[in-house]
Structure 1
Amino acid sequence: MTELQREIEKHIDEIWVDEPLDITLLKNGYVRSGAGIKEQYFTTLVMLSGEVRALGIHIFPDLLHHAKKETFSLSQLSDMTKRALEIDLGVIGYFGLETLGGLLKKYYEALPFMQNKEEYVKLTKEMFTMTNRYQLWMHQIFPWKLSIFFPKADTQRLQEFLKLV
């Protein structure tokens, strides 16, 4: 087991039941980088929720799916992973999830040093688990009550609107 794998496993254990510090800071409006416009952090929270969800639901599962195939080499998996994570590397830490962003960067930097697909799969599974745990915490703190300000239009309201346009 690599040092990075131990670090990720330790962090997963820390955040399994207890909210990660970066989530606590974020939900209280503190973003060290200053990300967010007009003195608010809601847009930052929305952006992070989408990025973390994409990592946990699409990117890491897809990479693990392809890793099972004989047709994908470690080199190809590494290239795909780097491309898939390129944007998230700068965004996640900057927008407030510094620990997740830092571990994501370490994972990215470890890719060229992986010796075989088994090592790739083990570390990618850990990243998948950790990312989904972050997604759970993001979901828990999201201000869902704001949804009352976005009511659905019924047919009558839609017809009235269409008359105006």
Structure 2
Amino acid sequence: MSVNWMDLKREIHNEVEKVWFHEPTEVTMSKLGIFPSGAGTNHQYLGNLFFLNADTQAMGWWTIEPTMYCVLGDERFSLDICKQLFIYLNGPIAHLLGDVLEPNCPAPWLNMPKFAYFHDKIVESYATIETKEELRDLLWSWFCYVNRINSWFYTVLPWELGKNLQRKDLNDVQHLADLLGYKLEQQ
């Protein structure tokens, strides 16, 4: 039996309300370096936080959301093509962030099980979506959720680590060249 898109919209909306003002457990776990899946390189999790920030941004306001709104508003794209495009664009990232693949990945890879869950439920609801406007309405709720989670990851990313990664200007480069006994040439 398929999922009714209006019921799913309410479910997503309820999740948005839960995470709007209160940091979700998945974000708290991630910022503390708790990844039951084992994600991370050499027991480091900065890369995980980077990907959580970047991938949720790509799924939301930066890439997939504007693309979907463009095709939904373009008469050259049918409802069926829009539905399939959502699967192609959203599915790989949603499943990377939230899938469990036993035995090597015993928990959601990047702590985001609701991403895979909601993506799959949206696809399951396709049979009840009869217009592009209905799909847009459902995706509006989905992108609201994705963008809110992205805001949390943007907030908890340890930006202070960038203090040691200062941009170099021409004077800095000249100073380094002088220290090394090199002469800079303009090109």
User: TM > 0.5 between the two?
Assistant: yes
- Give, in angstroms, the shift of residue 101 of structure 1: 3.4
Deviations 1:82-122 (A, max 9, x none): 11123203211121222233223322443465322122111
Residue identity in the other structure for 2:148: R
Counterparts of 1:41 and 1:105, CA distance in 2: 27
In 1, Cα distance between the equivalents of 2:127 and 2:87?
10
Gaps of 5+ in 1: none
**By how many angstroms is 1:76 displaced?**
1.1
Contact 1:19/1:137 (8 A) holds in 2: yes
Q: Out of 24, 30, 37, which is 1:33 matched to?
A: 37
The answer to whether the 8 A contact 2:95-2:115 is kept is no
- Deviation, 1:141, is 0.5
- Check whether the contact 2:60–2:147 (CA below 8 A) recurs between aligned residues: yes
Question: In 1, distance between residues paired with 2:139 and 2:73?
Answer: 12
Deviation at 1:27, TM superposition (A): 1.0
Q: Which residue in 2 is equivalent to 1:139?
A: 154
Deviates more, 1:106-115 or 1:38-47: 106-115
Aligned to 1:48: 52
Aligned-partner Cα distance in 1 for 2:120–2:46: 25
Structure 2: tracts of 5 or more residues without a match:
99-108
Equivalent position amino acid for 1:4 in 2: L
Q: Which has the larger radius of gyration?
A: 2
Distance in 2 of aligned mates of 1:103 and 1:31: 21
Cα deviation 1:4-58 (Å, max 9, x = unaligned): 2121011011011111111111111111211111112111110111100111122
* Cα distance in 2, alignment partners of residues 102 and 112 from structure 1: 17
List structure 1 runs of 4+ shifted beyond 6 angstroms: none
Higher mean C-alpha deviation, range 108-117 or range 43-52: 108-117
Paired residue for 2:95? 90
Partner AA of 2:79 in structure 1: L
Aligned residues: 164
Shift of 1:154: 1.9
Q: Determine the structure 1 residue equivalent to 2:106.
A: none
Distance 1:111 1:48, change over 3 A: farther
2:105 maps to none
The code of the aligned residue for 1:145 comes to E
- Equivalent AA in structure 1 for residue 141 of structure 2: E
The correspondence for 1:61, drawn from 58, 66, 78, is 66
1:156 positional shift: 3.4
Q: Are 2:137 and 1:122 aligned?
A: yes
